[in-house]
């Protein structure tokens, strides 16, 4: 849909187009109105560079030796020291990086599976089942999304450290409070109300399906796209969690990968290339997930935004 006005600056462009557009069909004219100009591309390329550079820089430093940080001008291309750095990183007793990686995988996977399951279940109930007080409950759930629960970590720690549980320093202290989120319930409810047809549920009901079987065999398969997005977002959030794991796991010998990173950067040795290798490895799983599923994640965030 080239309009042939690429040489013009944007403002006169916009003023000219409607005149030409009048003769066309409305849909086409709308598109013409929104054509990107070269300036748009320049701006977006600059924005993309600013977004990507720190991540790229992390890999640059992470693949170089430590003294490259003292160079002027600073290095901007990757070096060949990556495996050397990894070796030192894994051997570092303060960081316990491998333990951290493993723990983060366990925590994030457990939380993700649970959040997706329970959110789908509750979302299905809110979208498709009739029960007393459902509107009020949904409102409460939306309200909880705005509650700064981070401010409750002191009693939360007291609960976990109490003699009955004595979960401090253990992974379940990080997992259990996160098993279902208001955001997840709301997101699945929004999706379920339009993705699952009532006829299908009724038909299953008439065939004698119990509510749970309807959920498992009819609703859950239909929710798959939203469940995938929720799963990805949950995995990322959990992977990146910091303050609560820090409070309850502390500087013990059972860190998540973020705590490993924090210990690493707080160390008195200033081996920044080792630290950057750590950040690169800690970001890598998420980056891979993002490269593969980025389109769906963006779709999920944008869909949630319009309906939310």
Partner 1 sequence: MTLQTDVGRPAGTDPRRSPRQPTRRHKPPRVWSNRFDMKASPYFYVAPFFVLFGIFGAFPLVYTAWVSLHDWDLIAEEHPFVGLDNYSRLLQDTDFWNSVVNTMGIFVLATIPQLLLALWLANTLNRQMRARTFFRMSALVPNITSTAAVAIIFGQIFSTDFGLANWLLGFTGLDNINWHAERIPGWIAVSTMVNWRWIGYNALIFLAAMQAIPRDLYESAAIDGANRNRQFWSITIPMLKPTLIFCLIVSTIGNLQLFTEPLLFSAGADSIRGGSERQVQTVAMYMYENAFAPYYNFGYGSAVAWLLFLLIVIIAVANALITRRISGEGKR
Binders of partner 1 in range 224-253 (CB under 8 A): 236, 239-240, 242-243, 246-247, 250-251
Task: List CB contacts of 238: < 8 A, sequence separation 6 or more.
Answer: 107, 108, 111, 112, 178
* Cβ closest to partner 1, residue 51 vs residue 77: 51
* C-alpha–C-alpha distance, residues 234 and 3, integer Å: 43
Task: List CB contacts of 299: < 8 A, sequence separation 6 or more.
Answer: 229
Interface with partner 1 (CB under 8 A), residue from 106, 137, 222, 228: 137
* C-alpha–C-alpha distance, residues 100 and 96, integer Å: 6
Is position 54 an interface residue for partner 1 (rule: CB under 8 A)? yes
The token pair that represents 232 in the structure block: 């990805």
Per CB under 8 A, contacts with partner 1 among 7-26 are 10-11, 14-15, 17-18, 21-22, 26
Find the shortest distance in angstroms from Cβ 190 to partner 1: 8
Is position 128 an interface residue for partner 1 (rule: CB under 8 A)? yes
Cβ burial, residue 48 (10 Å; 0-12/13-18/19+): exposed
Query: Per-residue x/- marks for partner 1, 24-43, CB under 8 A?
Result: --x--xxx-xxxx---xx-x
Is position 135 an interface residue for partner 1 (rule: CB under 8 A)? yes
The token pair that represents 237 in the structure block: 């959030």
Find the shortest distance in angstroms from Cβ 229 to partner 1: 13
Size of the site for partner 1 (CB under 8 A): 130
Interface with partner 1 (CB under 8 A), residue from 111, 122, 218, 223: 122
Per CB under 8 A, contacts with partner 1 among 167-226 are 176-177, 179-182, 185, 189, 192-194, 198-199, 201-202, 205-206, 210-212, 215
Interface with partner 1 (CB under 8 A), residue from 110, 125, 171, 227: 125
Q: Greatest CA span in the chain, whole angstroms?
A: 78
Interface with partner 1 (CB under 8 A), residue from 20, 24, 102, 139: 139
* C-alpha–C-alpha distance, residues 292 and 252, integer Å: 35
* C-alpha–C-alpha distance, residues 116 and 188, integer Å: 9
**Among the residue ranges 85-93, 105-113, 223-231, 292-300, the one whose residues contact partner 1 (CB under 8 A):** 292-300
Q: What would the DSSP string read from start to end of 157-211?
A: HHHHHSTTT--TTSTHHHHGGGSS-HHHHHHHHHHHHHHS-HHHHHHHHHTT--H
3-state secondary structure of 24: coil
Find the shortest distance in angstroms from Cβ 199 to partner 1: 7
Find the shortest distance in angstroms from Cβ 149 to partner 1: 5
Rg (CA), the chain: 25
Interface with partner 1 (CB under 8 A), residue from 51, 80, 93, 163: 51
Find the shortest distance in angstroms from Cβ 123 to partner 1: 9
Per CB under 8 A, contacts with partner 1 among 82-111 are none
Find the shortest distance in angstroms from Cβ 84 to partner 1: 19
From residue 227, alpha-carbon distances to 101, 123, 186, 202 in Å are: 25, 11, 12, 23
Is position 80 an interface residue for partner 1 (rule: CB under 8 A)? no
The token pair that represents 25 in the structure block: 């069909």
């Amino acid at each position: 849909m080239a309009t042939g006005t690429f040489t013009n600056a944007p403002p006169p462009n916009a003023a000219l187009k409607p005149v030409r557009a009048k003769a066309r069909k409305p849909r086409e004219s709308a598109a013409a109105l929104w054509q990107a100009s070269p300036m748009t591309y320049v701006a977006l390329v600059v924005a993309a560079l600013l977004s990507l550079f720190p991540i790229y820089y992390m890999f640059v430093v992470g693949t170089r030796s430590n003294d490259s940080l003292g160079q002027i001008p600073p290095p901007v291309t990757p070096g060949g020291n990556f495996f050397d750095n990894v070796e030192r990183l894994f051997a570092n007793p303060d960081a316990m990086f491998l333990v951290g990686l493993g723990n983060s995988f366990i925590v994030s996977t457990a939380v993700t599976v649970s959040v997706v399951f329970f959110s789908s279940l509750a979302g299905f109930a809110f979208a498709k089942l009739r029960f007393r007080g459902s509107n009020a409950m949904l409102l409460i759930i939306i309200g909880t999304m705005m509650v700064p629960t981070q401010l409750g970590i002191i009693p939360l720690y007291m609960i976990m450290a109490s003699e009955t549980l004595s979960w401090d320093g253990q992974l379940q202290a990080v997992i259990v409070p996160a098993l279902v989120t208001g955001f997840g319930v709301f997101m699945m409810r929004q999706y379920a109300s339009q993705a699952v047809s009532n006829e299908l549920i009724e038909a299953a009901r008439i065939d004698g399906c119990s509510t749970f079987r309807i959920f498992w065999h009819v609703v859950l398969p239909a929710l798959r796209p939203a469940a995938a997005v929720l799963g990805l977002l949950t995995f990322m959030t959990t992977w990146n969690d910091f303050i609560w794991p820090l409070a309850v796991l502390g500087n013990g010998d059972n860190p998540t990968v973020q705590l490993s990173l924090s210990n690493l950067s707080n160390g008195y040795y200033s081996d920044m290339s080792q630290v950057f290798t750590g950040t690169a490895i800690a970001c890598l799983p998420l980056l891979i997930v993002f490269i593969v599923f980025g389109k769906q994640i963006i779709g999920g965030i944008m869909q949630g935004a319009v309906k939310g």
